[in-house]
Structures are given as C-alpha cells and as structure tokens.
Amino acid sequence: MEQLKRGGGFLRAAEWSFQPSPDDVFVPVKLIRQYGLVEGAQVSGPTRRGKKNVELSDVESVCGLPPADFQARTPFDRLVAIDPNERFQVGDGGNTTMRVVELISPIGKGTRGLIVAPPKAGKTRILEELALAIHQSAPDTRIVALLIDERPEEVTHFRRMVPAEVLASSNDQSTAAHIALAELTMAHIRCELE
C-alpha cells in the first residue's frame, strides 16, 4: 500500500514495481486508521465500486496476518537489531567473481547490499550472479532485487534470469520516481519483517 499525503492510499502491484495504474484499489482513510495500516503493507480484502476508483471495503489480512495480529506487531524501529549469524555460501558454485565476493565481503542472511558503479561497469551482472548463487545455496531464501535507473533491457534480462522479486525503475524516469520506488520497497520489506 502506498499512502498519500492527503490521506487514503492505493494498493500498488509489485509486478509493476509499485507504479501507479488505473487498476489500483483505493484504500479509504477510515480503513487505514481502523486497522493501523502503514505504507508498504500488503493488504487484501473485498472491494466495491467507489466514486472514482474501485476501493477496499474491508480488510481481511495485512502482510499475511489477520488484522488484529498485524496491529499487535512490534514496529520495525523497535525491533532488536542483530548481526547476521548465518552466511550464504555464494562461492561454492565455481564462479570466480562470487568466490572473490565471498572472501572480501561475506554475505549473511538478512544482509542488505548496495552496489553503485558507473554504466557498463558490470554491477547488474554481479547482482545477477549473486542472486543466482544465493538461490543455489539456499533455495528457500526470498530474494528481493531493487534496480534503480536501469535500462529496460537490463531489467527484462534480470527478471528472466533470476528467481527473485525484481522491482525496477528505468533510466527514463525522474529522480522523484526512483526515490519513491526505493522508499516504498523499503517500507514493504520493513512491514514484512515486523
């Protein structure tokens, strides 16, 4: 769910990288307050035809939980932070790049990573290899890849090659769109972790 500054919100589809769509379901302010909904929450429930859009009429689940359980959760900023204590064995597949990554910067379960590099430096390829190595070493791991300011062809290739949830903004979108996607993705992941 993406909350609007004027109140209310919209249920955005992860398959479309949370981009606005005419098919988005409106979430009234009343439901947001009643169920303690927050930005990034995955919300499901029955809908009805509203004045302008299809709108949510009730909430059946929030992030896979009954609404009462979701309201009783501990907010992310109050959770106890711990260092990762279990490593992914990304260098076991014979890939030299992944072996170097494993030696220089080991990756533990729950780790977030950021790769910043100039165009054509190979950052998307390294992310692709890393996601594949994690999937091979721990197939039950949920992998979420956020690609910002990428060429559409690179995003399509990444989606075809990597068994992950891929959220992306293309290089023809505004800086504000890149920031909005990054913030909504982080809110979604935080909400899932709560």
Structural domains for the chain: 2-73 (2.40.50.140), 78-193 (3.40.50.300)
β-strands 43-44, 47-49: how paired? unpaired
Closest CA to 28 of 49, 64, 57: 57
Share of the chain above pLDDT 70, in %: 100
The whole-model pTM stands at 0.80
The maximal CA–CA distance of the chain, rounded, in angstroms, is: 58
**Residue 77 confidence class, pLDDT cut points 50, 70, 90:** confident
pLDDT at res. 82: 87
